[in-house]
Structure 1
């Protein structure tokens, strides 16, 4: 979800209760979620990862016997709120697998930034939680020449080491430059570096997905996607939302050259085959990048993860390669991603397609942190507490009754608002849900409040939720 309001704050904190409980909470379906979230910790802090586990045996199955429940609690009025425009949604009892509420739940539609949940799951499957993106410098083909090779790490910062940026724990160009100087001095005593070549060949073009609105660069949510950039190409390195430029590669090259003094030429090209590596720096692990991506809905990390997932899956290095990598990766979680179409990693495109029914199934696994999906749970914003659900216009007023009880991914594009995730209902029932408020044209921001109200009403109903 993108915001034109308070998103300028750096995405540096999550609540420790969310993270710690997200990893340590038991998988018993009767009490699957943490109750409180209070102490902040840095998102950039690496978390000890549990072994990859399967969903517990209590996972919903078609043959599970369920005690009769009086379905007497209706949210039909909230679901008809005109602010929701063309509404789709589904709610599932995560303990039994029973569909409690459904409105066109099997229809595949655009899901906005909820797409990031799929991107994260695919990256964790293909890359693994410990994978890190590497930026390196190699020997060039000319005297005095080095090549800066982009490895897709959009968190790499142009600020001096030790400076806080929008991405906690990010590597810095200053660190890389210092390493290069030491290695160069040892290999070429008495010779100075006079030329820096910028290699961005790891990602193929185009740099802008054709269905994206160009205004996103000015609004500050999304840069041109290149394999070499610094600070997500933000003008303000510390702000989550900040205008992006037209030449991320040039910005990175100029920043790197500045660490080598004046008179250094900067050019573009590719590294010589088999060139010796002088130095490198690495990103935070994918498990941390996923949390940074989800908490404040970072489009830049999402696109980088999608692209690197495609590369490592062998489907290509362009936007068009993402679907062929993500969809097969999602199958590894044991849920067929029928009707899912992935055009980008962030969800900005109107052409993405996800049925709410698929999300409600995937979130059962996220709830249990099974099959390696713990980082997704840890990154989900919490209603009224963290990330993109902590702003003043989310879960306010009557909807605040569900504060701290909803773990969900937000989504916004011009033609819709979405919300999907996990609810710890008032009666203790674990629920998964996916709600879409879509329109053929611009959908007003007040759809957010309608989604929150509906979600809070579902929290009140719990297992008594009626489909009528």
Structure 2
């Protein structure tokens, strides 16, 4: 046998075979347990248990967020119109009123002088704080001395000295002769006044306080007939001519009102200024038109007097105060319910005549989205806006939306603005493609009257472009 003849060779071969089999087992063991790379076993070595490895958790793979919808490529540019030198330092913004997407922006987030566009802001605050049905009340009460009555101004700057039946500039305004008739009848009906004639009239204008003229207003506005001194007691916005929009104002509106009331009482009374005694018996009262009507009267022809009246009454009702300095808090607080960021807004007056007022075009476009949707009572503002090519108002004049710009007639509902340092326009456009747009355009700095035509031209451009308006 081969084994018998080569016993040593067989032993060597068998040993090698056993060693090979042991090594193979170690490889399989290592593979099954996940141990480190296996090494050769030794018959003399004590086996050491292989530690169980700690599982390594691979890092989470980044998950892509929701895909951002691609903005449509808009191709209708008004860049050339925006570069018109007549616009001077131009700012503007246009928004799709349905989607809220800003289609065009040039410095739109910078708060700047608004001119009379501020009347929209004042109106919005008044609707929030006062409500559309609020009316300002003028009263007559008994004075502290025998024969004395007190005329108490309640902030109605539209109260008219024209006789009842004669229509003043402020349609539907209360009349002094009505108030005088009430006071005389109540006086005569009171037994305590038997044999005591009415001999003294005191004028109480304490409902408003502080300066009567804002330091940012040019004093020439008084003589030109655009602004009265702001007092809680006055008649016809203190116009020389109660029937005209623009008419010179006086240096003492309280005295003018007092003289008119004394005449309505029948004369024979002395007139002085003071305050009503606390708890005095009321002899009569008349009320202004409601806020909703006053807003329309203010916006359509850009009446400064009513705007100042609304701002001051808003501030008083909100608890901010009754002077010019209180308007910042009073008006801004009144805007809070609309949920639009008011950061950067500066309110110096209610009319926009002060160049120190500041509201961004972006705020105006956002506010007009809500006006367009008639949120809350804001539809009152929409209904009072001038209309391009309309029958009346500040956009019906022959120099507005003329020539090629008349393409937008009937489609632009907006508030105009002008001060010596700027022209403005802000409102709503029913664009040619049916898209409702809100917009604000400011031409500020060294401007002249032809800035109005440049503003109309770019606004007509917005109308033509509609939702295809490009920001390039």
Task: Give the TM-score normalised by the residue count of structure 2.
Answer: 0.84
The residue aligned with 2:414 is 408
Deviation digits for residues 408-443 of structure 1 (CA, Å, limit 9, x no counterpart): 00000000000000000000000000000000x5x2
How many residues are treated as equivalent by the alignment?
404
Q: Deviation at 1:190?
A: 3.5
- For the 8 Å contact 1:91–1:360, the answer to whether it is kept is yes
- Any conservation in 2 of the 1:330–1:336 contact (CA below 8 Å)? no
Shift in alpha-carbon separation, 1:287–1:67, aligned structure 2, 3 A: farther
The residue aligned with 2:299 is 294
Specify the structure having the higher radius of gyration (Cα).
Answer: 2
Q: How does 1:196-211 map onto structure 2 within 5 Å? A: 196-211=201-216
Q: Residue 197 of structure 2 aligns to a residue in which SS?
A: coil
Q: Name the structure 1 match of 2:455.
A: 451
CA distance in 1, matches of 2:298, 2:433: 31
Aligned-partner Cα distance in 1 for 2:384–2:408: 19
Map of 1:170 onto structure 2? 173
1:291 is displaced (CA, Å) by: 0.9
Q: What is residue 337 of structure 1 aligned with on the other side?
A: 342
SS of equivalent residue, structure 1 residue 407? strand
Does structure 2 conserve the Cα–Cα contact (< 8 Å) formed by 1:66 and 1:96? no
Long gaps (5+) in structure 2: 1-65
- The answer to whether the aligner puts 1:253 opposite 2:252 as a matched pair is no
Instruction: Give the SS at the match of 2:394.
Output: helix
Give the TM-score normalised by structure 1.
0.85
The equivalent residue for 1:10 is none
Q: Is the partner of 2:132 in helix, strand or coil?
A: coil
2:469 is aligned, of 451, 465, 468, to: 465
Q: What is aligned with 1:244?
A: 249
Displacement, 1:67? 8.3
Deviation string for 1:144-166 (max 9, x for gaps)? 10000000101100000111111
Shift of 1:331: 1.4
Q: Is the 8 A contact 2:315 2:329 kept in 1?
A: yes
Q: Distance in 2 between matches of 1:96 and 1:260?
A: 59
Q: Is 2:438 the counterpart of 1:432?
A: yes
**Partner residue of 1:285?**
290
Q: SS where residue 331 of structure 1 aligns?
A: helix
For 2:412 and 2:112, the matched residues in 1 are separated by: 23
Which residue in 1 is equivalent to 2:356? 351
Q: Which of 173, 190, 199 is the aligned partner of 1:194?
A: 199
SS in structure 1 at match of 2:77: coil
Aligned residue runs from structure 1 range 56-205, under 5 A:
69-187=72-190, 188-205=193-210
1:353-392 paired onto structure 2 within 5 Å: 353-385=358-390, 386-392=392-398
Which segments of structure 1 move beyond 6 Å, counting only runs of 4 or more?
none
Q: Residue 387 of structure 1: SS of its match in structure 2? A: coil
> Residues 185 and 191 of structure 1 are in contact (CA less than 8 Å); yes or no, is this contact kept in structure 2?
no
| Shift, 1:337, TM fit | 1.2
CA contact (8 A) 2:314 2:334 kept: no
